[in-house]
Chains A and B, each alone.
Chain A
């Protein structure tokens, strides 16, 4: 379970990017995180993944605090940033091996998973090429594969569908469902309200660093569309 308790983060002692955020994401949840540009989505995702520190509150991943037990917590996480900026001098397979080494994925299992996802994302023929020769979408797929080969309990994604072709987007959604069925949880930010509405079991809307609505998707949107709710909240 991912628990975010009274979490706040201020930049330069002035700009409050996240303001007393409380969220609880259960295994099996596909949790969509929606907000305008600069609302605090990336700050929250980076705080959960231990990339940046936060000023107040606590974040735990299956009971492990990202502040006090970062290594144990990170072993359960896969974080996919909005920009797939990875080591370009490596080949795809070298990158995946590096991630496999970091997460100590046993070689046989690693091979099976790499084969499975390389096949799925149509990356088999290019894994031996340097990442510098990949398109944006291919880099994104490589990062996603890196995240999947260690079967994370918590998957954090920042705008994961940007740059993916329709087929890869569809496959990623299927992977989300598969992971959740095995007890993992997915927490991702998105601007694509339609995706959130159709895919997510739960959603949260963040505005100026504060969570203004969250819960089961059908409870949040009721008989409106998510787009209506989101725009209504922005205008308030």
Chain B
């Protein structure tokens, strides 16, 4: 039965159609385009990440600290598992959408749980390979390759995400349980998830700066301090680096016991949470009903904001950049001296303060791209939207308006606050704001174009659209590419011109691209909407 369930769950989660949103036979062009884009994205990621760890490995090897690379691998894998489970455990285990199908069938609960966890772990392993691969390459290249080490590395790596999966499944459930008691449960859920993420980020930063000025030389002490709290990291290193079979046994044994206990122990919890999720009780609300009329675009933008706050994974993905900008802006009010000293590091590197601020803000803004998935998130309601007397262009404008309102105001305020802390001239501040507006607009409309090309209305869980759809991935990578093109353009222009002219020309370039994309949406939205079948 486990195999049958696994086959179905894999089909539901990993199909090419699930990723593309359309039938592969009908979209050969799309497949080629996506394949090339994915290759490009994968190549640039592996190149950037791989070369970073290759040079780090070289440095560590010279210092006799090559095993530190394994620590990095372990921490990256653990963090990825933590994030994935935090987002997805609730949907995979505790409130799975097919409970009503599986519930009445005579299948053992532990079989269902094992199959669900297998799918979740497959996703985790696939993401971990992306990070562990380059790290492993650097490790084996510098420390010398031998088959036993590789086997030990592969076996030990399989255990890395298991304990985080167990712990963070419960944290995910706890958050879902706590928030379900509130009337605005999704909003509370989003705030708590942001809290956990910012907490993890804060912790990792503080751990990295444990008692020393040279972080590289301090890594051994850091690893030892970490091992005290979390022994598997020590066992992992000892098993792979020192071929210590006792450590390997400890690693495998502990994980096997905990994982088996987890599968067997959560059966009742899984059933009770899924059952609880089915009960819909309509509470009476005595608040007077107030009706408000808005323009069509404003009404769509308002609907978008409600969707945004009702899907935690969507809010977290798209809103993370906004929260980072907000934190940065507020922090700049209290840490003016620190910001000035941080920015002064760049003196002589050819990077102006203004540029550093724009890179930070630009990076955050590129992640604010709800338009790459908001059309897909209409899901089965898209047909309702289609049946209404609204022009497709208006629908897209409403979605764009929401995205701009989500990211741009916070970006502008943050730039203002950071510029104030860094004592940037008014004219430069004004130009930076112009550039930010142009970037926000171009990212927004680009997202809309991508979603028009790669819609995905057929999904059970919105997380699939937000995390696994072609549009979402192309949206984010494309956004970064726009930022990189902006950077290159600026670099070329400022070879012979001033910062001000450079920024003005790059902004103009963005406005031009924005106009082109907007023209496309205007022209094509209608014909594409008709083609979409839900």
Please list the residues of chain A having a beta carbon within 8 angstroms of any beta carbon in chain B.
11-12, 14-15, 38, 46, 49-53, 70-72, 74-75, 77-79, 81, 85-90, 94, 98-99, 101-103, 132, 156
Report B244-299 residues with CB < 8 Å from chain A CB: 271-272, 275, 278-279, 281-282
| 3 nearest A-B residue pairs (beta carbon) | A51-B103, A79-B104, A74-B106
Indicate with 1 or 0, residue by residue over B457-473, a CB within 8 angstroms of chain A CB atoms: 01010000000000000
CB within 8 Å for A15 and B281 given contacts A50-B103, A75-B106, A102-B1 = yes
> What are 24 sample pairs from A and B whose C-beta atoms fall under 8 A apart?
A11-B281, A15-B281, A38-B282, A46-B278, A51-B104, A52-B279, A53-B272, A71-B107, A72-B106, A74-B105, A74-B106, A75-B106, A78-B104, A79-B104, A85-B101, A87-B8, A87-B101, A90-B8, A94-B8, A99-B105, A102-B105, A103-B105, A132-B458, A156-B104
Q: Nearest Cβ distance between residue A53 and chain B, in whole angstroms? A: 5
CB-defined contacts of B107 to chain A, threshold 8 Å:
71, 102
Decide if B11 touches A90 in the complex (CB within 8 Å): yes
Smallest Cβ-Cβ distance to A95: which chain B residue: B8
The one of B8, B12, B278, B281 that contacts A14, using a Cβ cutoff of 8 Å: B281
The answer for the CA separation of A11 and B18 in the assembled complex, in Å, is 36
Q: In the complex, are the beta carbons of A98 and B106 less than 8 A apart?
A: no
- Of the candidates B17, B106, B275, B281, which one forms a contact with A52 in the assembled complex, judged by CB atoms under 8 Å apart? B275
**Known A72-B106, A90-B11, A103-B105; further 8 A-B contacts with Cβ < 8 A:** A11-B281, A49-B103, A51-B103, A53-B272, A53-B275, A71-B107, A74-B104, A87-B11
Q: Could you tell me if B278 and A12 are in contact, using CB atoms closer than 8 angstroms?
A: no
Taking the closest CB of chain B, its distance from the CB of A81, in whole angstroms, is 6
Residues of B within 8 A of A70 (CB): 106
Given A12-B281, A51-B275, the answer on whether A85 and B100 have CB atoms closer than 8 Å is yes
Closest-by-CB residue of B relative to A100 is: B4
* Smallest CB separation, A92 vs chain B (Å): 14
Mark B91-110 against chain A: 1 for CB-CB distance below 8 A, else 0: 00000001111011111100
Q: Does B64 contact A (CB under 8 A)?
A: no
**Chain A residues with CB under 8 A of B100:** 51, 81, 85
Cβ-based interface call for B144 (8 A): no
Say yes or no: B106 contacts A103, CB within 8 Å: yes
B335 → chain A closest CB, angstroms = 46
Q: Among B1, B8, B279, which residue has the most Cβ atoms of chain A within 10 A?
A: B279
Candidate in B100, B101, B104, B108 with the most chain A CB atoms within 10 angstroms: B104
Cα of A132 to Cα of B1 in the assembled complex, Å: 24
Which of A49, A75, A87, A94: most chain B Cβ within 10 A?
Answer: A87
Q: Which residues from chain B sit less than 8 Å from chain A, CB to CB?
A: 1, 4, 8, 11-12, 15, 17-18, 98-101, 103-108, 271-272, 275, 278-279, 281-282, 458, 460
In the complex formed, the residue of A with least CB distance to B3 is: A101
Name the CB-closest residue of B to A77: B104
Q: CA separation between A12 and B275, bound complex, in Å?
A: 12
Which residues of chain A come closer than 8 Å to B11, judged between CB atoms? 87, 89-90, 94
- Shortest C-beta distance, A136 to chain B (Å), equals 11
List chain B residues, Cβ under 8 A from A81. 100
Cα distance A132–B15 when bound, in Å? 13
In the assembled complex, the Cα of A50 lies from the Cα of B106 at a distance in Å of 10
A85 contact set on B, CB distance < 8 A: 100-101
Contact assessment for A52 and B105 in the assembled complex, using a CB-CB cutoff below 8 Å: no
B104 to chain A minimum Cβ distance, whole angstroms, is: 4
Give the complex CA separation of A150 and B271 in angstroms. Answer: 25
Query: For B4, what are the chain A residues with a Cβ–Cβ distance below 8 Å?
Result: 98, 101-102
Bound CA span A50–B12, Å: 24
CB nearest neighbor in A for B107: A102
Q: In the complex, what's the smallest C-beta–C-beta distance from B11 to chain A, in angstroms?
A: 5
**CA A74 to CA B103, docked complex, whole Å:** 9
Q: CA A101 – CA B105 in complex, angstroms?
A: 11
Report the separation of the CA atoms of residues A70 and B271 in the bound assembly, to the nearest whole angstrom. 12
- Chain B residues contacting A79 (CB-CB under 8 Å) are 104
B3 CB, min distance to chain A CBs, angstroms? 9
A209 CB → nearest B CB, Å: 13
* Cα of A71 to Cα of B1 in the assembled complex, Å: 13
- A79's closest neighbor in chain B, by CB? B104
User: CA–CA, A74 to B107, complex, Å?
Assistant: 9
Chain B residue, CB-CB nearest to A78: B104
Residues in chain B near residue A132, CB distance under 8 A: 458
Which partner residue on chain B sits nearest A102 by CB separation?
B105
Cβ of A89 and Cβ of B18 under 8 Å apart?
yes
Complex Cα distance A227/B164, Å? Answer: 58
Task: Give A11 to B180 CA distance when docked, in angstroms.
Answer: 14
On whether A51 and B99 interact (CB within 8 A), knowing A89-B17, A98-B8, the answer reads yes
Q: Which A residue's beta carbon lies closest to that of B275? A: A52
Neighbouring B residues of A53 by C-beta, 8 Å = 271-272, 275
Q: B272 — which chain A residues lie within 8 A by C-beta? A: 53
Residue in chain B with minimal CB distance to A9:
B279
Whether A87 contacts B275 by the Cβ 8 Å rule is no
Instruction: Name the A residues within 8 Å of B281 (CB-CB).
Output: 11-12, 14-15
Selected from A12, A75, A86, the residue in CB contact (under 8 A) with B279 is: A12
Shortest Cβ distance from residue A187 to the other chain B in the assembled complex, whole angstroms: 13
Query: How far is B100's CA from A81's CA once the two chains are assembled, in angstroms?
Result: 8
Complex interface: chain B residues within 8 A of A49 (CB): 103-104
Tell me the minimal C-beta distance from A88 to chain B in angstroms: 6
Q: How far is the CA of A89 from the CA of B105 in the complex (A)?
A: 19
Residues of chain A with a CB closer than 8 A to B18's CB: 89
A residues within 8 A CB of B282?
Answer: 38
Residue among A81, A98, A99 with max Cβ neighbours from chain B (10 Å): A98
CB distance from B409 to the nearest CB of A (A): 39
The reply to whether A50 and B104 form a contact with Cβ atoms under 8 Å apart is: yes
Q: Bound state CA distance, A53 and B99, in angstroms?
A: 13
Residues of A within 8 A of B279 (CB): 11-12, 52
CB distance from B404 to the nearest CB of A (A): 34
Bound: A46/B104 CA distance, A: 8
CB distance from A97 to the nearest CB of B (A): 8
Contacts of B98 in A (CB 8 A): 87
| Chain B: minimal CB distance from A152 (Å) | 10
- Rounded to whole Å, the gap between the CB of A63 and the closest CB of chain B is 16
Identity of the chain A residue whose Cβ is nearest the Cβ of B14 in the assembled complex: A89
Q: Say whether, besides A11-B279, A11-B281, A89 and B15 are in contact (CB < 8 Å).
A: yes
- B99 and chain A: residue at smallest CB distance: A51
Query: Which of A50, A75, A86, A101 is B101 in contact with, Cβ under 8 Å?
Result: A86
With beta carbons under 8 angstroms apart, the residue of A14, A99, A101 that contacts B1 is A101
Contacts of B103 in A (CB 8 A): 46, 49-51
Contacts of B105 on A, CB cut-off 8 Å? Answer: 74, 99, 102-103
A101 to B15 CA separation, bound complex (whole angstroms): 22
Expressed in whole angstroms, the Cα–Cα distance for A103 and B278 within the complex equals: 25
Residue in B closest to A91 when the chains form the complex, CB atoms = B11
| Minimum CB distance partner of B17 in chain A | A89
When C-beta atoms are compared, the residue in chain B nearest to A66 turns out to be B104
